[in-house]
Structure 1
Amino acid sequence: MGEKNYIGPDAIIDKKKEYLIPCVYHFYKNPMQLVRAKGKYFYDQAGKEYLDLFAGVSVMNAGHCHPEITDRVCEQVKTLQHTCTIYLNQPIVDLAEKLAEVTPGNLKKSFFVNSGTEANEGALLLAKLYTGNSEYIALKQGLHGRTHLTMSITGLSFWRTDPNPAGGISFAPDAYCYRCPYGLEYPGCDLKCARAIRDVIETSTSKQVAALIAEPIQGNGGIITPPPEYFKVVRDILDEYGALLIIDEVQTGFGRTGKMFAIENWGVTPDIMTMAKALGNGVPIGAFTATEEVADVYTRPGASTLGGNPVSATAGLATLKVIEEEKLTENAAEVGLYFKNGLENLAKRHRIIGDVRGLGLMLGAELVKENKEPAPDETDLVLEKMKDRGILIGKNGPSRNVLAFQPPLIINKKDVEQVIATLDEVLNEVEKEAGLD
């Protein structure tokens, strides 16, 4: 397709206003039209190159248009595109077998769907079937989906659109050390945020809790990263009350944090794990995987018309093969540590950076003004200026003031140096314009 065939950003915005529901928003005051991608780069309608530091929100872990993945997907599309689970096909069971191999502990049996939302919905149902209980606990800044139940169990108000949320859901405080809800500091806090889950169960529920659902690192919540002992304390409390632990790996899975799954950084195995995004490297797919004991209670007929279809399952198998063969998990650990050190050095020179957190290549830098006041306007300005210099980064957090770095796992230290140098320059400009220098 030649340049003359691109309608351009303004025309796309006009069509969005006319034909899309207005909740579908976009970044940037002066956006570009993305028309092509390869590896770690996007290209716009004018041919400008952008280093992608967001990966479609942790989707393109193996990089854009990876030839091995796209070739296998195209081959599958040409041979067997769809069957539904009522007929036997091999890719779905091969992928399920592979997930049993790469997931931690004794997680074994999977149910395939099309998205992280569906995966979380299914996991919550499975927990209810296994325990016979109907109440849930979630964390205050978690994000788990856009259906009625998953939106209700989302604690992040930015994404809670439904005016009539489901009942039977209680929220526990986050392990947000930079803004500790108790005004304490780790490790002297004795993980009061984790131990508060017992208080929530005792005072806000009937004590008949099916499960607690949590992201190991809260992505949209602001890359909130719990202390090393956090999930072990949580697990012990849940075991005491017979509640399951559901870990939402939709953003954190498949090598992003320097482990295949982020929860491995905390040495805990959940009863049920959910995943999506990077599993298909751009092809829609999701799954929830459980221990055999938990999974085997789900015996009444269940199906997903498109879940685990041959094309999506083939994409998942190809993606896992690339992650393993190209050692992307190891690269995320090494380059991520280098990246985090670079951000921490920037924080020493720029007062606008209040905190740097995350693991591997899932990093956040929270921008603040005096007394930790969130700086969302300055965050938007940083994103705009970085985009103009050819680097795309994300933003998240309750106040939308956290710079999010979730790139394809193929980036290297030279890319990091480019990002840090450019961000240093941009932060100087933004601090000066905001009177924060």
Structure 2
Amino acid sequence: MLSTPPLIRRTDASVGTQDPLSRLQRALLQPYDLTGHPLLERQSARESSARTYPRRIPLALRRGRGIYVEDVAGRLFIDCLAGAGTLALGHNHPVVVEAIRRTLDDELPLHTLDLTTPVKDEFVETLFELLPPRFARDARIQFCGPTGADAIEAALKLVKIATGRQTLLAFQGGYHGMTQGALQLMGNLGPKAALGGAVSGVQFLPYPYAFRSPFGLDAAGTSAASLHYIDQLLADPEGGVPRPAGLVTELIQGEGGVIPAPDDWTRQLRRITEGADVPLIIDEVQTGFGRTGRMFAFEHAGIEPDVLVLSKAIGGSLPLSVVVYRGRLDRWTPGAHAGTFRGNQLAMAAGTATLRHLQQEQLAEHAAAMGARLNRALLELQRVHSGIGEVRGRGLMLGMELVDPAGATDPLGRPLAAPERAVRLQRACLERGLIVELGGRHGSVLRLLPPLIITEREVDAVVEIIGESMKTL
């Protein structure tokens, strides 16, 4: 039986113990006034100009529980950003809070570098139990710095050292973090422009993005052409690309616009990389741990990676990242990758509690069911609103590409992306009590990453808010 944490309750008499969805109904009738708060003004004055989320989501939050957050003005929101997918169990889930409290009460050293503890050992055993048995039997794990980007950096070092090669293959539209090495793998040119746009040693490949096919083909043709291109690149002795140290991919491009790779494409990619002796690095920082309806996204295609990069949900809302890889690649020497905060005991305790709860409550299966319900409802909205070009994704990782139905079309005859409409839709959703993010080409894709504990009733509320917000366009 799915256990959901208690809903947010206000202690003041004006709200009492009212159902949060009833509270949000009022925001549908009377959208929130998102007038700035002094906290936001001080943030704007003192924080770096590199900050991102507060520019489009101008909220100062004071509490959260489950899929809900409340701001300092007492306004309630459904959180479908959820720490960019970090909060698999939502905010302050009881099993996570209890794990953290127990660790503090036990007086375990909170900072241990890579020295082991009972908490760390339990975390590793729990994680390996979730991996495919054949992969887990021979796997090794490297604890990294707090972010997924550091785990990507570690993965790149790992394959370069193991193979003795330097070139890397990555995909157009990919996102793997914002550190220097990870940034070189990014498809988006914007963040790289200020650094000279350097992509030293990285060859970019066409991703099977059928709606905006890089080949001008239909879905099947796009997938086939992408695979043929990769196959020929690795086989052609005059192709101009040295044999790579590894190929890095997401199986659903998140920041790139919620673009899922077809399962057969994934299987063929695994066949090609194995045949060419190129380690396959799968970045599951955002897709891992039930998000797509399976524990890991690669399981949909029935394949196994050589290197698996994990972060976000793995720490139960606290910073943690790891790389899990095949034993044959374990050729680096002591100190080849290190980091002061790779011994975060609270994150390991919270992570163990989260991973066990995901498995015990069958939340991957629940995410598949809730994702299917949400996807069907969004497709219904698409039938009503011509400004929705495509609905896509998997499980509870979904996106809607916004287009201009009255404007120009691309070579495939599809309306062009409408980033200004996406920004307006995001704002309209926020005014009605729904936090969502944008991504994809030109920032035209509305992204949905709700906690995996979301219920049918809450899914329906999300769709109702999006539907009402679409009317404002």
TM-score normalised by the chain length of structure 1: 0.92
2:99 match: 72
Residue 23 in structure 1 maps to residue 50 in structure 2:
yes
Tell me by how many angstroms 1:98 deviates: 2.0
Tell me by how many angstroms 1:15 deviates: 2.7
Residue 106 in structure 1 maps to residue 135 in structure 2:
yes
Residue 395 in structure 1 maps to residue 438 in structure 2:
yes
SS in 1 for 2:259: coil
1:258 match: 293
Amino acid corresponding to residue 111 of structure 1 in structure 2 = Q
The one of 204, 224, 228 equivalent to 2:259 is 224
Number of residue pairs aligned between Structure 1 and Structure 2: 425
Amino acid corresponding to residue 177 of structure 1 in structure 2 = A
The answer to whether the 8 A contact 2:246-2:281 is kept is yes
Matches within 5 A, 1:185-334: 185-189=218-222, 191-201=224-234, 202=236, 205-294=240-329, 296-301=330-335, 302-334=337-369
What is the rounded CA distance, in whole Å, between the counterparts of 1:421 and 1:258 in structure 2?
23
The one of 70, 78, 82 equivalent to 2:110 is 82
Distance 1:26 1:12, change over 3 A: farther
Tell me by how many angstroms 1:188 deviates: 4.3
The one of 454, 457, 466 equivalent to 1:411 is 454
What is the rounded CA distance, in whole Å, between the counterparts of 1:32 and 1:410 in structure 2?
23
1:177 match: 210
1:433 match: none
What is the rounded CA distance, in whole Å, between the counterparts of 1:324 and 1:348 in structure 2?
36
Amino acid corresponding to residue 416 of structure 1 in structure 2 = V
What is the rounded CA distance, in whole Å, between the counterparts of 2:331 and 2:322 in structure 1?
17
Tell me by how many angstroms 1:205 deviates: 4.8
Tell me by how many angstroms 1:189 deviates: 4.5
Matches within 5 A, 1:84-163: 84-85=112-113, 87-104=115-132, 105-107=134-136, 108-113=139-144, 114-160=146-192, 161-163=194-196
The answer to whether the 8 A contact 1:148-1:166 is kept is no
Tell me by how many angstroms 1:62 deviates: 0.8
The answer to whether the 8 A contact 2:367-2:452 is kept is yes
Tell me by how many angstroms 1:95 deviates: 1.6
Amino acid corresponding to residue 333 of structure 2 in structure 1 = T
Tell me by how many angstroms 1:373 deviates: 1.1
Amino acid corresponding to residue 174 of structure 1 in structure 2 = Y
Distance 1:205 1:237, change over 3 A: farther
1:57 match: 84
Tell me by how many angstroms 1:28 deviates: 5.5
Residue 353 in structure 1 maps to residue 388 in structure 2:
yes
1:421 match: 464
The answer to whether the 8 A contact 1:171-1:200 is kept is no
The answer to whether the 8 A contact 1:250-1:274 is kept is yes
Tell me by how many angstroms 1:2 deviates: 11
The answer to whether the 8 A contact 2:211-2:219 is kept is no
What is the rounded CA distance, in whole Å, between the counterparts of 1:367 and 1:87 in structure 2?
49
SS in 1 for 2:220: coil
The answer to whether the 8 A contact 2:428-2:472 is kept is no
1:168 match: 201
What is the rounded CA distance, in whole Å, between the counterparts of 1:52 and 1:33 in structure 2?
13
Amino acid corresponding to residue 421 of structure 1 in structure 2 = E
Q: Which runs of 5+ in 1 are unaligned?
A: 431-437
The answer to whether the 8 A contact 1:28-1:383 is kept is no
Distance 1:163 1:286, change over 3 A: same
CA distances 1:267-291 after superposition (whole Å, capped 9, x unpaired): 2110000011111132000111012
Tell me by how many angstroms 1:395 deviates: 1.0
Q: Please identify, of 215-224 and 320-329, the stretch whose mean Cα deviation from structure 2 is larger.
A: 320-329
What is the rounded CA distance, in whole Å, between the counterparts of 1:205 and 1:34 in structure 2?
52
What is the rounded CA distance, in whole Å, between the counterparts of 2:419 and 2:270 in structure 1?
35
The answer to whether the 8 A contact 1:82-1:309 is kept is yes
Q: Please identify, of 331-340 and 160-169, the stretch whose mean Cα deviation from structure 2 is larger.
A: 160-169
Tell me by how many angstroms 1:237 deviates: 1.8
SS in 2 for 1:259: coil
The answer to whether the 8 A contact 2:307-2:324 is kept is yes
Amino acid corresponding to residue 271 of structure 2 in structure 1 = D
SS in 2 for 1:124: helix
The answer to whether the 8 A contact 1:62-1:328 is kept is no
Tell me by how many angstroms 1:86 deviates: 5.1
The answer to whether the 8 A contact 2:57-2:430 is kept is no
Q: Which runs of 5+ in 2 are unaligned?
A: 1-9, 13-34, 410-414
The answer to whether the 8 A contact 2:254-2:286 is kept is yes
Amino acid corresponding to residue 70 of structure 1 in structure 2 = V
The answer to whether the 8 A contact 1:152-1:162 is kept is no
Tell me by how many angstroms 1:190 deviates: 5.6
Give the alignment's Cα RMSD to 1 decimal: 2.1
Amino acid corresponding to residue 158 of structure 1 in structure 2 = G
Tell me by how many angstroms 1:307 deviates: 0.8
What is the rounded CA distance, in whole Å, between the counterparts of 1:11 and 1:345 in structure 2?
40
Distance 1:258 1:171, change over 3 A: same
Distance 1:204 1:40, change over 3 A: farther
Tell me by how many angstroms 1:412 deviates: 1.4
What is the rounded CA distance, in whole Å, between the counterparts of 1:383 and 1:205 in structure 2?
44
Tell me by how many angstroms 1:44 deviates: 0.7
2:418 match: 375
What is the rounded CA distance, in whole Å, between the counterparts of 1:204 and 1:117 in structure 2?
30
1:434 match: none
Distance 1:175 1:29, change over 3 A: closer
What is the rounded CA distance, in whole Å, between the counterparts of 1:53 and 1:159 in structure 2?
25
The answer to whether the 8 A contact 1:141-1:156 is kept is yes
What is the rounded CA distance, in whole Å, between the counterparts of 1:65 and 1:86 in structure 2?
27
What is the rounded CA distance, in whole Å, between the counterparts of 1:97 and 1:315 in structure 2?
14
What is the rounded CA distance, in whole Å, between the counterparts of 1:49 and 1:151 in structure 2?
35
